[in-house]
A and B are shown apart, each in its own frame.
Chain A
Amino acid sequence: MNSAVTDVGKTPQSSVPGLNAFWVQMAAMICFTVLLSLVLDFMKVWPQEWILPIKERITEFFTWLDKEAGIGQLKFKTVTRSVSWLLEQPLDWAEYILYRGIKAKQLPAIFWIFMPVIGLAVLHKRFGLQKCLIAVAAIWAITLADNVVIQSGLYELPRTTMDALGIKKLDALPWVVIVAGAGILGHWIGGWKLALFSAGCIGYLAVMGLWRDSMKTFSIVLVSVPFAVVLGLGLGIWVTRSKRAAAIISPMFDIMQATPHMAYLVPVVVLFGAGQVPAMIATVIFAMPPMARCTILGIQTVSSDVQESGRMSGCTPRQLLWKVTLPSSQRILMLGVNQVVMQTLAMVVIASMVGAQGLGHKLLFSLQQLRLGAAVEQGLAIVLMAVVLDRLTQAYANRAPGELASRETGWRARKHLWLFLGVTVAAYLLAQFIPMVEKYPRAFTFTLGRNIDFALRAFSKHAYDYINPVRDFITVYMLIPFRDFFLWLPWSTVIGVVGLAAYWLGGIRTTLLTTGLITAVILVSGNWEQGMLTLYLVTSAVILCVLIGVPIGIWASRSERAARPIMATCDTLQTFPSFIYLIPVIMLLKVGDLSNVIAILAYATVPAIRYTYLGIKRIPEVTIEASIANGTTPLQRLWKVELPIALPEIMLGINQTIMMALAMTAITALIGSSDLGQEIYRALPTSDSGRGIMAGLGIAVIGIVADRLIQAWAAERKKQLGIN
């Protein structure tokens, strides 16, 4: 910290030793490669003949997996299809409960599986686990035998009973029950405030007339989240146990998260088919890494005292993990769960492209119809669901440890459960007389959709005359020259500059990694031009994001009153399905590069704001006071003290901004572009896995290279400032 204050008078450059040498080398590198590429054509544009057929090989590999792979009679495809089928079962059950209802012919199977299990759960303490298990097994054996061989009517009993009562199907949970359930859950976890909030948000889904679609989406969330959590937990534990696993899995997570979601779609469809389940699998792939990361972090940060006391009391390694380590890192694990939930909801729209039903599908349909208002409401429904789940999981994570094991005993300990059961039974009974208990009446729905459409059209009509000249100016004099510059750059210059920067910031290993990745994934596979166009779009957008985001972050750090609405807006912008931004942007700015840049901007500015705010807020009081005591003006304080100290943090924010901008290029491709994002879409018609994957990996590589360089720089800088 002292060094930070003494740094005040100097310019930042002079604080890095040998920086001048760096610039000299950089200039030499640029001159050398540019001159070289003037003489040798192949140093400028990678020759067509040298492009390796990587995409073709990948496509062939997936076709082979799809059609031929397998051991003897057991085809690989059979295995993947069985996995799909297995995953389909819990999803079906969630759907029966949430919106489909159970038809008479499905009832026996469901009844005979679940009734004994529920009985087991309730009674095993009284009668002993073993006896109950035997009873369950007996019931299953008898009913199963009855279904397959005897057919005395026992298996069909639930169905015949229902027929006798004149009930054609068991209805799904009435909306009232689910709204009340959200409230009861909220109360159990966080008290009245949370209860009202959860019930209100979920209730509003019905008010907007989106109940059924919301439940469709919710059933996917309900099944994918536990699945992603268990998988992430398992992988996370494995990584902390085995060095070899860590070496393979950690970089894979980096790549998985940096690859745009769209790129997963084609391989998932090839392997798992299309429909709800593949959509779920794509979701799990995307949502699982944060859980694994939090698990690793949680296990590694458990204090050694806790571990030691666990070992002293004679824990086996397994007991140590399950009874000591994991419970004491409960908070960070719940943070992981929270992230999984948010990522799952972020996938809702994209998953609908391969067959997920519900809000995502409706949202794309509304956009296709130009009903932006309807799309906004469908997006809002996704956001509401995300917010409720976010609050619930966060509140759960923040409960004091030990509070879970309630002091109360008897029915009081389970009063929430009993209340929920009571509400359910009451609602089913009431629904027989008052239909609106079961289905929210359509007449009571209330939507603002048309008004939003009208407002947007009026805005685009009147604002266009003012916006158009600005658009033309920026496009013609800034973006197009910038693009031409990127397209002109010889590949040797780009790789040379990246390699040199990597060497100075991180050493020879970083150089080898970054240049190697760029060469292998983007250059040699023949995606160079698309890669440069992506880089151009992302660079333009990131420059604007920083110019806009950093000042807003500074402003928020100065005024608490401004900070609240700004942070709330940030949250909304990030959870809102980004597809929605596209339509207004096109109506105002037409199809062109500026539309792409602005759509990226809307999504990717958030981290720049947030990290700047946090970075400045985290500067110790003492440092600020010292600078005030030294007589700095507020402006000097900002430029010479706060920004330099917060710079590593801000750079991490920019790092996040780059990642988000890259992810967004896959979505802005829908406006129209010819970058890597567009390549992913072009791979869809023919299910060309190789083309889609290489384009996705290309985007990931740009992100990873930027990440490595910035991380290396931030580490160096923090060391100089004496911050850990």
Chain B
Amino acid sequence: MKITKLLATSAIVAASLAFTLPAYAEAESDDPIIMVQNNWTSQLVLSFVVGKTLEGMGYTVEYAPSDSQLQFKAIADGDMHFQVEAWEGSMKEAFEKAVADDGMVDAGTHTAATREEWWIPDYVLEKCPKAQDWKGLDACAEIFATAETKPKGRFVGPPADWGKNYAARIDALQMNFKAINVGQAATLWAELQSAYDRKEPIVLFNWTPNFIESKFKGRFVDFPKPEKGCMEDKAWGPNPNATGDCGAPHSGWLKKAAWSGLAEKYPKAWAVMQKVDFDNAQIASAALMVDVDGMSPEEAADKWIADNSAVVEGWKK
């Protein structure tokens, strides 16, 4: 009796394997293409746009959520296949490491340019009219101070793991600010929302394109334009004794990342992925449908495809 039971169990296990294995091997091109999904609006909508386009071509598409840093390891391993938004600002290090280690490939750059810089809501200009310029901002640093940063102003900086060093820039420009790093992007928005509701002066790290533009009125602070000399030549820029005394580039890249096996496994899909290209206005309109009109990212993607059918058809050619 015992032996028969044992046999029964092992037979069931073996059979389940046997049945799924041939199906697995046979349906190679039927395997789903896995799109990475992060937790911000534009990325979600755009990944649905690409995913639905591929589905329209007959592919099976699945969506896998991932942390925006761990995703590159997953793509390089082929566990996930395509990331539609890789940001120079926050992901450069991990992106380049994954490409260098093989497994992940750079699937091209979007037309959209990204910018990340210090950012102020417009009402700050009432209290500090020249705040758009870094010198003007520095002159009224005190209005941004909190108890623990006094007399220095408080700059709410990006998450520490994004590889930015704003403390160094503040030192190089000899500004009267202290950088407080947050732990995640949502923290930035909570700070902004709270200050915005109370019209309290705040200067924080922000980037474009992103949903903040459609909800809050504000602008980037202008810093000395970065040129080649800034990082290498101490004499360059406002501070003759320091390097790094300049702002961030005004047009950072927004790339697509893909698993290196795609080209071989799904050649047609790979061709489409390489052609996929969004500009700033398209990204903003995609995010707007979710952030302002309250659609779900999936609905927004359907609408975006309907509104931009010419663009989508262009990718398929």
Contacts and interface: CB of A to CB of B under 8 A. Distances in A.
B54 interface: no
Interface residues of A, number: 71
A265 B148 contact: no
Interface in A115-131: 117, 120, 129-130
Which of B67, B69, B198 has most A Cβ within 10 Å? Answer: B67
Given A480-B148, A684-B69, A274 B15 contact: no
B79 A105 contact: no
Contacts of A356: 65
Interface stretch (B18-26, B104-112, B231-239, B267-275): B18-26
Given A591-B156, A671-B182, A353 B63 contact: no
Contacts of B80: 274-275, 355
Interface string A262-277: 0001100110011110
B80 to A, nearest CB: 6
Contacts of B20: 89, 109
Given A355-B65, A587-B190, A684 B70 contact: yes
Contact of A464 (B8, B91, B187, B198): B198
A273 B77 contact: yes
Nearest to B90: A685
A270 B1 CA distance: 43
A117 B19 CA distance: 14
A586 B73 contact: no
B65 A144 contact: no
Which of A117, A130, A368 has most B Cβ within 10 Å? Answer: A368
B143 interface: no
B152 to A, nearest CB: 14
B29 interface: no
B185 A368 contact: yes
Interface string A170-182: 0000000000000
B94 A685 contact: yes
A583 B186 contact: yes
Interface in B62-90: 63-67, 69-71, 73-74, 77, 79-80
Contacts of B159: 672, 681
B11 A368 contact: no
Nearest to B34: A275
A678 B162 CA distance: 12
Contact of B4 (A130, A276, A354, A460): A130
A672 B187 CA distance: 8
Contacts of B260: none
Interface in B148-205: 148, 156, 159-161, 163, 180-187, 189-191, 193-194, 197-198
Give the 4 A-B residue pairs with the shortest CB-CB distance, closest first. Answer: A274-B74, A472-B147, A670-B183, A361-B65
11 contacts: A133-B8, A275-B80, A354-B67, A355-B74, A368-B189, A476-B148, A672-B182, A672-B187, A682-B160, A684-B67, A684-B69
Given A129-B8, A144-B22, A587-B191, 12 more contacts: A130-B4, A140-B19, A274-B74, A353-B65, A357-B65, A370-B186, A583-B190, A586-B194, A590-B194, A678-B160, A682-B160, A685-B163
Interface of B: 1, 4-5, 7-8, 11-12, 15-16, 18-20, 22-23, 27, 30, 34, 37, 39-41, 44, 63-67, 69-71, 73-74, 77, 79-80, 91, 93-94, 97, 146-148, 156, 159-161, 163, 180-187, 189-191, 193-194, 197-198, 211, 291
